Every structure is written in structure tokens, then in C-alpha cells.
Amino acid sequence: MRWFLQSECSNAYNWFMHDAKAEIIRLSALLTEYQRSYYIDGHSQVSDLEYDRLFDRLVALETSHPELREADSPTQRVGSDLDTSLAEREHTIPVLSLDKSYSASELLSWIEKTEKKGEKEVGIVIEEKIDGISIVLYYEDGLLDRALTRGNGFIGNDVTENVKTIASVPLSIPTTASVAVRGEIYLPKPSFDKINAEMEIPYANPRNLAAGTIRRNKSREVAKIPLQIFVYEGFWEGGQQTHLEILSQLSAWGFRLNKNLAYFHTDREMAASELQAADVAGSSGSFSDLASFIEEETAQRASLSYEIDGLVAKVNSLEAREKLGYTGHHPRWAMAYKFESPQAETVVEAIDVQVGRSGRVTPVARLRPVQLAGSVISNVTLHNQDYISMLELGVGDTVEISRRGDVIPAVERVLEKGEGGGLWHLPAHCPVCATPLVKSGAHTFCPNADCPAQVRGRIEFFAGKGGMDIENYGPETIAFLMELGVLTDIDDIYRIDYDATLSGAPGFGEKKIALIKEGVRESLSRPFKTVLVSLGIPELGKKGVEVLLDAGLDSMEKLLAVADANDTGRLVSIKQIGERSAELYIASLTEAAMRRRISALAELGLSMEATGDEERTTDDSFSGQTWCVTGSFEHFTPRSKAMEEVERRGGRTVSSVTAKTTHLLAGSGGGSKLDRAIELGVTVVDEETFISLLNKKDENLPKEQGELF
């Protein structure tokens, strides 16, 4: 009896396990198919509700039977909180780049030449050059084993866990062969616009957002971003003879191909039948159709839901490819045609680290000087470590630089790794004062408020044009006085005995000393609002000060009272002040060093309250200008805030870009308005420049736009 019961029980258990296993297999297959048809073919076979119900059931079964969870289960797409390794791993296929041409005619003559080189007539496949992140997917025994970024072509970063969350990447394929697949991960433009609008620091383009996402530490975060993939090359041991056959097999295995492909051959009929035989979506034609195809493709670029930066022509026959061979870094059987854009290629000769007056550490690339859209660029900001990691950038790399919105130069991507192929990392210590650096959010800071770089930055800002505007008190004078040890903070400016300190010093004649003294004396009578701006409170510029004064916070006493009471409510009750700014103002005004500075300046006789008879700035710096605003912004949400600023300064605002528009303020995801503005030659201004225009009355766009410093 006992025996009988036990056996019954274990049979029931077996039956139950078997049943669970069968259900897991059934649900996995069903959900994988639903995911495939939705993300690859673009149509859903079931309602969202039904999909979620099946998905939740599978999650529940896998949770109670973890040993039954398959490596390619569709539940793996949700990601996890475990750290993505990002470890460096070797590529087992050569990850080559493409040779480039810059005009359709150059591409056409390459095709013609390549055709002539072959013994037999060969067809040419033209694909779109997707502007995304290059990825190599490696499959072993039918399972996605690893996904590596391109890195330096030999070693890439392991981003497997993150890539698994991309629904159009097959987690398993029906073959046991070792397969490597190259493709491009990208973020569709509409998703970019939506996501970027909510980002604290918006990304300049979908590629950068996709690159940042794919390198995130938690795959669960990656799963929230609807990344996509197009694959375009496959490598495995098999009998395939043409590129079209490879694409066909990849498609049959469940990979997502770009349908905007075209196949050309001398013989139009032949092209059509080969394409049809391969069962690959696309169009076909004879070589005489090539030029008009390229023209059409170029024209429809803006209407695509993803970014492309050119076209790629590839020889179809693999045998012909082998004969054509390779140079060190690109195959001779393919050629990219890059669309024209204000871009240039140069080499990163060094990466310096700058420490700003707030302690923020900024890596700056020193470039081999290069001409770009009318000016020579030799420095470009790299923002922070995340930006550098996203680019996989190192010293010696050849990079592509562009002008964001035609104004600020930026490193767009690495074109070729330099010797050594290293990735650059911020130092652990402040390069100026050796204090260990600390990370806060995306940025890194030197926490030492006495760091000479910060002290100098503070003094330069205080005495500079945007601050007290002290005549003859420029960076050299400041550096000299700091070196002598007499200038350690801004109040020293009003204490130094300039005659005693500078007489006889090289470069400081009597006349110059007299001018310095005069400048300092004269600055003593600057109005309160200028003193307040000059203190360098984060994000408190001229406009912000006017707002505070208008709202009745018109003396240092009142401001300090608000700060000491930590009364953010009082500040945010002012329409133009947000929570973040309010917190920054209070933090700065309650700092001990800032309080010491303020007391010292008050004692020295600087103005600590608005007198009321000061002339209100009537700012008409935008008069005669017509501005259109597009995209999303960090500081102007909703963007009508930016329009108000324009109007307050006498400018007109309009909702579309026309020939009469003089300026386009372009935030992230500017889209069609940006294209139109570039087409019409309208001045495009980005947010940073816009803010500097708001703060600098009567100043036009910076003349030397390429220079950061």
C-alpha cells in the first residue's frame, strides 16, 4: 500500500513535470513566433492582451520550474538587473570597414571598374548604409552565444545580455553550425523623438542614444528602449555562393533584413530572376538603372523611419569577392557612398582633462586641425566618460567630426582605431590638484573647492565679460597673481596692493598697473545684479537674476534668508524657476566658502541690494529676427518657454521654417524642420548657444564657432 502510494505520487510528479515541460515548450514556440512576426514582419498575430496572458503564464511556469527554462526562452527579452559584462572579447571573424566614395558618380565608376575586373559578369547588391551601431552576433549550437560591438575590429565589448532584449534578434536559430552575423542596431526615429524628449541630457541623434543604451549596465534598462536590428552579412561554413543566398538563409533563420535593397546586373531579366530565386525582398534592374535608383534612394532618405548615412554597393558573387580580395582594413568588393553632410575626418592627437569652476571635469579632444564647414577645428569637447565609452574612443583614433546643428563641433564616431586600439579613461585623480575624482550622475567632479583650477575658473568668471567685467584683469594677470600667492579668492581682487605686488614684474609697466587699479576700483560700483551673476552660482545667469529681482528677492539678505530656510517653495513659486535650479541656488548660497566670499565682498563695499533706480535692461537683441523652435530641450520644457525668451528680446516666433525665418532653434530630434532650415540656409542654433545668446545682450553668434575656449 505504502509502495503503491509512493509510486502514485511520483508518477503524478512526473506527469506534472512532463506537462509543465510540454507547456513551456509550447508557449516558448508560440511566443517566439508571435515576437518574430511582430518585430520582423511587422504584423501581430494576437491581441496584446492574449500575448501578455501567454507571456505571464510562461514566466510563472519558469519561475516555479527554473530548471526547465530554455536559454532561448522569449522571457529572456525582459533583461535583468545583473551587471552586463562589457568585457573585452576577441572577434572570430574579421570585422572590416568599408571604403568610401562621396558622390553617386564615384560609386558608379567604382561599380564599372569592379565589373571589368571580374572574369565573369557579376551582379551588384545595393543596400542602405544604416547609421547605427555595428554589432556581431555569434551563434553556437543554434543559440545566441555572444554579441560583440565592433571595438577595434579585433576585440569588441561583450553586450550579449543587452542585445538579447532586442526582440528582432533571434535567440536561437535552426542550425548547429557556428554562425556569425553582422548587423546594425538602431533606434527608429519616432522612438528616438519620444524617448529623447524625456531625457535629462538629450542625445544629439538616434545613433548616440542607441550606442549609449547598448552599453548600459543593466539589461532591464535596455529592454525599455525599442532598439531594432538590420543584418547584412553572414559567415558560416556552407555551400553558399552569393550574398543574396546568404541574406536569404539569414531571413529564413529569422533575422531581420532591410527591404530597401536592390540588385543590379547587366541583364535586367537575370537580375530579376536571381533576386526572385533567392526570395529576398527588394528591387532589381540593369546597370543602366543604377543612377536613378541611387537618386531615388537619396531623395527618400528623410522619409525613412531610421537614419541612413549612405548606400553600400557589394559584389554578389562570393567567388568574385575572394578574387577581388582585401586591403588592410576594407574589402575591395564593397564600396560605401556616404551622403554629403558637414563632416570631416581627423585624428585625435590627445585627450586633455579640463577642470571647470564648478569642479566638473571635462575631457577635451585635441584634434589634428581640420577644416569643417568654414572653420578650422582643433578642439572638441567629449562631455564625459560615458560619451567616450559610447564612442569606444582612444588617442590616435581616426574620427568623424560634425557640426551639431551646424554650430558646435562634435566627435560623431570612430572610423578607425589607432595603433594599440585602446579605449581612453578619465584619470582617477584631478590632473590639477591630485584629489580623487568623484562621479555624480553622468559627470565627474574634483571635490576640492580649493583646487587651483576651480579657483582660477571662479576668479576668471568673476572678473570676466559675463561677470564684473574688470578692465585689464584677464586670464594672464590672474594666473600671474595666483602664482605669486596673493590671489586666492575673488575678494583678494579688492585687497591686493597692486603697486607693491606688480612693480618691476615682467610685463607689468606702471601704466598697466594703473589701468588694473582703475579697473578694479571702477568695478566696485557695479550694481547688485552684476555682483550676483558674478558669484557664479550654478545656472544663475543674467536672466535668472532679473527674474529673482522682479520677484522681490532684490537683496542678498533676502536671498540668504530663503536659502537658509531651505525655502525651495519660495523660489519655485516664481514662474521661470524650476525645482532643479531652486535646489542648485540654495545649495550654492549655503556653502561655507560662498558665504565667506559674500561677507567679504559686502565688507569691501560691493553692492548687496538693488537700489531700484538701476536701469532695467531693455533687451532688443533679437529684434528683426524671426525664430522657429523645434525638437526638445533640457532647459525649455515646454518649448514655448524658449519662444517667450525670443519674444521678450524683440524677436518674432513662427511655427514653420520658411524663407523669412532667420533662425531655427533646434533641440534634439529636430527632424524635418531642421532639414528644411539647412536647405534654406537658415542659421541653426542649438540649446547651449541659445542660452549664451540669451545671456549675452547685444552679442551676435560667436564668430569663431569652432573654438570652445
- By annotation, the residues acting in catalysis are 129
Distance CA 648, CA 622 (A): 9
331 binds ligand IVH (CB under 6 A): yes
Span interacting with ligand IVH, options 95-103, 214-222, 282-290, 367-375, rule CB under 6 A: 95-103
Q: Does 232 bind ligand IVH (CB under 6 A)?
A: yes
> How many of the other CB atoms lie within 10 Å of CB of 16?
11
- Work out how close the CB of 96 gets to ligand IVH at its nearest, in angstroms, rounded to a whole number: 4
Least distance from ligand IVH to the Cβ atom of residue 245, Å: 16
* Number of residues lying near ligand IVH (CB under 6 A): 16
Closest CB 277 distance from ligand IVH, rounded Å: 21
What are the cell numbers at 465? Answer: 565679460
Rule CB under 6 A: is residue 130 a binding residue for ligand IVH? yes
Q: Do residues 38 and 46 lie in contact, with contact meaning Cβ atoms separated by under 8 Å? A: no
Among the residue ranges 91-99, 277-285, 389-397, 683-691, the one whose residues contact ligand IVH (CB under 6 A): 91-99
Bond preceding residue 74 cis, omega within 30 of 0: no
Establish if 129 lies at the interface with ligand IVH (CB under 6 A): yes
The 8-class DSSP code of residue 242 comes to B
Of residues 173-212, those binding ligand IVH (CB under 6 A):
182, 184
Beta strand pairing call for 261-265 and 283-286? parallel
Q: Give the residue, chosen from 37, 80, 85, 97, that forms a contact with ligand IVH under the rule CB under 6 A.
A: 97
The 3-class secondary structure across 175-241, one letter per residue, is CCCCEEEEEEEECCHHHHHHHHCCCCCCCCCHHHHHHHHHCCCEHHHHHCCCCEEEEEEEECCCCCC
Could you tell me if 231 and 280 are in contact, meaning their C-beta atoms sit under 8 angstroms apart? no
Ranges within 361-380 binding ligand IVH (CB under 6 A): none
Q: Is 98 in the site for ligand IVH (CB under 6 A)?
A: yes
Residue 180, strand partner residues: 138, 235
Cβ closest to ligand IVH, residue 361 vs residue 411: 411
Among 209, 222, 334, 502, binds ligand IVH (CB under 6 A): 334
**Whose Cβ is closer to ligand IVH: residue 244's or residue 407's?**
244
The SS3 call for residue 415 is: strand
343/568 with CB nearer ligand IVH: 343
Closest-by-Cβ residue to ligand IVH is 134
- Report in angstroms how near the CB of residue 130 gets to ligand IVH at its nearest: 4
Q: Does 682 bind ligand IVH (CB under 6 A)?
A: no
- Which residues, including other chains, have CB under 8 Å from residue 209's CB and lie 6 or more apart? 187, 192, 195, 196, 199, 203, 225
Shortest Å, Cβ 133 to ligand IVH: 7
Out of 78, 93, 96, 270, point to the residue binding ligand IVH (CB under 6 A). 96
**449 near ligand IVH (CB under 6 A):** no
Shortest distance in whole angstroms from residue 654 CB to ligand IVH: 37
496 contacts ligand IVH (rule: CB under 6 A): no
User: Considering the complex, what minimum distance in angstroms separates the CB of residue 400 from ligand IVH?
Assistant: 10
Is the Cβ of residue 80 or residue 97 nearer to ligand IVH in the bound state?
A: 97
Of 94-102, 366-374, 432-440, 688-696, the segment contacting ligand IVH by CB under 6 A is 94-102
Q: Which residues pair with 594 in a beta bridge?
A: none
CA 642 to chain centre: 22
Does 542 bind ligand IVH (CB under 6 A)? Our answer is no
**Least distance from ligand IVH to the Cβ atom of residue 127, Å:** 4
For ligand IVH, the closer CB: 311 or 586: 311
Member of 158, 233, 686, 687 binding ligand IVH (CB under 6 A): 233
Q: At what angle do helices 579-589 and 556-564 cross, to 10 degrees?
A: 100
Q: Smallest distance from the beta carbon of 292 to ligand IVH, in angstroms? A: 20
SS (H, E, C) 351-368: EEEEECCCCEEEEEEEEE
Among 35, 73, 134, 157, binds ligand IVH (CB under 6 A): 134
Report residue 237 as a C-alpha cell: 561554413
DSSP 283-327: EEEEGGGHHHHHHHHHHTGGGSSS-EEEEEEEESBHHHHHHH-B-
Going by C-beta distance under 8 Å and a sequence separation of 6 or more, which residues neighbour residue 692? 702
Nearest residue to 51 via CA among 41, 63, 65, 39: 39
Amino acid identity at 327: T
The binding site for ligand IVH (CB under 6 A) comprises 96-98, 127, 129-130, 134, 150, 182, 184, 232-233, 312, 331, 334, 336
